[in-house]
Chain A
């Protein structure tokens, strides 16, 4: 079998789906960024509670 026949035909994505996929990827990236920001505040709140408990024990 010649090598060219074994090769699968390459799927060529047109400009529009590629653009749409790019936007979706960026939005997903930003959603991840927003999630990280929410998680950071959650962790900060837990840290604040721990520090407050410690401070009230010491003070």
Chain B
């Protein structure tokens, strides 16, 4: 029997949703300041409108505070799912008004891609986009990848933010409270920001001869994009624009840092249990799958005869696998060239995108921990078949110490794997229905569902509307890893059919 939500449930959800939108209003002030300082008056007025819209909607929906300050798990999930639908709608206002997008839906696609840290873009002529608008796109990515929710938990929700935290796909608290965990995550990001801007800016200044201001701009925006494994870039030719192996290496450092779980950051930071990290199922799975997919990609590229010397094959193979596996979406080649990567090269990149980074990181995809658990379930099953009936197969694995693989954990990992496969299949079918070949449709669908951001040429302003909406939904579902979206769906259904 479904229980119909009572008015108090609605008050709790709308109150916290309003708080998240108010945080976004504060975030929108940053590009406004940028535009005013840079005397970009047209973008400045659109940012003023955006900040106002976030603030107005935020205040309106949080006008009736709940009687009890209790945010349940279900409430938190619904807040997160709604926030990820409404924030891109309001965040796309300055993009839609810029004249660089064919329609409001294209601008919404870009904002959703930004907030879900996917990195696919439909912007026309990004090379001539106003710097403040480019800053906004990258900031949307950073705030989305880091977590609007994290920001909100830090600022408003305090001790009741655990449910929102979980809805955002972050399962483990590193520190005793969610607020202290959120503070730790922001601290790690802050220190990486300083190091990242210095490193990338220095490469741009000393290595590429950029002016100090331009070095800072490219360093900051590339850091925003790489640390949350986003994929937006300042130039239309992505990281290939720089033609610099040092810039690519620096970007890879932050892509990998972004794909690392914050527990791993914490362990490195505190210098505790570092050797344990090497034994962890997640670390080992990521190392094995990254090496495996890199070999596949390189074999594919060599077979296609695209890169004939060791240096260029290693450079293309490593960069694109790191970009795909961390679900960043940076490239060194145009999407038309990626579309030609058939055979093993295609298998390598698509598999890497599908598998993704670590759990509780900014990366998308299935996540290394789930991949490891599914492999463990399979291995144990084979052992049970081969060993005598009376043999006991211990289901244990290493992850921050010795853990027992419970039936519940195994079921959850298998279920999410199945849902991701289904989501990719649906996107592929819609792409094929519009006449795109299987390989291209599958590539784009996996890229959207795993927030990968790489493209084989379908993403573009010419895309059919239904396909565009499908990719938007895939990005939303993939970012929230289904549960929060199902909670929202369940909430709506119980509102209609519940008693």
C-alpha gap A41/B259 in the complex (Å)? 13
User: B308 is contacted by which of A41, A44, A56, A58 (Cβ under 8 Å)?
Assistant: A56
Name the residue of chain B whose CB is nearest to the CB of A30.
B191
- In the complex the two chains form, is B317's CB within 8 Å of A48's CB? yes
- In the complex the two chains form, is A41's CB within 8 Å of B310's CB? no
Name the residue of chain A whose CB is nearest to the CB of B245.
A45
Report if A41-B256 is in contact (Cβ < 8 Å); known contacts: A30-B191, A34-B192, A51-B314: yes
- In the complex the two chains form, is B268's CB within 8 Å of A55's CB? no
- In the complex the two chains form, is B269's CB within 8 Å of A33's CB? yes
C-alpha gap A55/B300 in the complex (Å)? 10
Residues of A near any B CB (own CB < 8 A): 26-27, 29-30, 32-34, 36-38, 40-41, 44-45, 47-49, 51-53, 55-56, 58-59
Please count the residue pairs between chain A and chain B whose beta carbons lie under 8 angstroms apart in the complex: 75
- B291 on the A face (CB < 8 A): yes
Q: Which residues of A contact B303 (CB under 8 A)?
A: 59
Minimal beta-carbon separation of B284 from chain A (angstroms): 14
Report if A51-B298 is in contact (Cβ < 8 Å); known contacts: A37-B256, A40-B256: yes
- In the complex the two chains form, is B269's CB within 8 Å of A38's CB? no
Residues of B near any A CB (own CB < 8 A): 187-188, 191-192, 195, 249, 252-253, 256-257, 260, 265, 268-271, 291, 294-295, 298-299, 302-303, 308-311, 313-315, 317-318, 322
* Supplied contacts A49-B310, A55-B299, 9 more A-B pairs, CB within 8 Å: A30-B191, A33-B269, A34-B191, A34-B257, A45-B314, A49-B311, A52-B311, A52-B317, A56-B302
Per CB-CB distance, the 9 closest pairs between chain A and chain B, nearest first, are A48-B318, A33-B268, A52-B314, A59-B302, A48-B314, A52-B313, A29-B269, A49-B314, A55-B298
- In the complex the two chains form, is B268's CB within 8 Å of A29's CB? yes
C-alpha gap A45/B299 in the complex (Å)? 17
- In the complex the two chains form, is B191's CB within 8 Å of A38's CB? no
17 contacts between A and B (CB under 8 A): A26-B187, A29-B270, A30-B188, A33-B269, A37-B260, A40-B256, A41-B253, A44-B322, A49-B311, A51-B294, A51-B314, A51-B317, A52-B298, A55-B295, A56-B310, A56-B313, A59-B303
C-alpha gap A36/B257 in the complex (Å)? 10
Minimal beta-carbon separation of A4 from chain B (angstroms): 37
Minimal beta-carbon separation of B455 from chain A (angstroms): 23
- In the complex the two chains form, is B314's CB within 8 Å of A27's CB? no
- In the complex the two chains form, is A26's CB within 8 Å of B249's CB? no
Minimal beta-carbon separation of A6 from chain B (angstroms): 35
- In the complex the two chains form, is A51's CB within 8 Å of B252's CB? no
C-alpha gap A53/B312 in the complex (Å)? 11
- In the complex the two chains form, is A44's CB within 8 Å of B318's CB? yes
Q: Which residues of B contact A32 (CB under 8 A)?
A: 268-269, 271
Q: Which residues of A contact B299 (CB under 8 A)?
A: 55, 58-59
C-alpha gap A40/B318 in the complex (Å)? 12
C-alpha gap A36/B256 in the complex (Å)? 11
- In the complex the two chains form, is A37's CB within 8 Å of B191's CB? no
Minimal beta-carbon separation of A51 from chain B (angstroms): 6
User: B318 is contacted by which of A27, A45, A55 (Cβ under 8 Å)?
Assistant: A45
Minimal beta-carbon separation of B263 from chain A (angstroms): 12
- In the complex the two chains form, is B257's CB within 8 Å of A37's CB? yes
Q: Which residues of B contact A47 (CB under 8 A)?
A: 291, 294
C-alpha gap A49/B310 in the complex (Å)? 6
C-alpha gap A27/B302 in the complex (Å)? 44
Minimal beta-carbon separation of B297 from chain A (angstroms): 10
- In the complex the two chains form, is B188's CB within 8 Å of A52's CB? no
Q: Which residues of A contact B298 (CB under 8 A)?
A: 48, 51-52, 55
Which of A32, A53, A55 is the most central at the interface, judged by chain B CB atoms within 10 Å of its CB?
Answer: A55
- In the complex the two chains form, is B295's CB within 8 Å of A36's CB? no
C-alpha gap A56/B304 in the complex (Å)? 12
- In the complex the two chains form, is B269's CB within 8 Å of A41's CB? no
C-alpha gap A55/B310 in the complex (Å)? 9
Report if A44-B317 is in contact (Cβ < 8 Å); known contacts: A29-B270, A34-B195, A59-B302: no
C-alpha gap A46/B270 in the complex (Å)? 28
C-alpha gap A53/B303 in the complex (Å)? 14
Q: Which residues of A contact B192 (CB under 8 A)?
A: 34
User: A41 is contacted by which of B249, B271, B295 (Cβ under 8 Å)?
Assistant: B249
C-alpha gap A39/B309 in the complex (Å)? 24
Q: Which residues of A contact B310 (CB under 8 A)?
A: 49, 52-53, 56
C-alpha gap A56/B300 in the complex (Å)? 11
Q: Which residues of A contact B187 (CB under 8 A)?
A: 26
Q: Which residues of A contact B322 (CB under 8 A)?
A: 44
C-alpha gap A36/B260 in the complex (Å)? 12
C-alpha gap A9/B302 in the complex (Å)? 71
- In the complex the two chains form, is A48's CB within 8 Å of B294's CB? yes
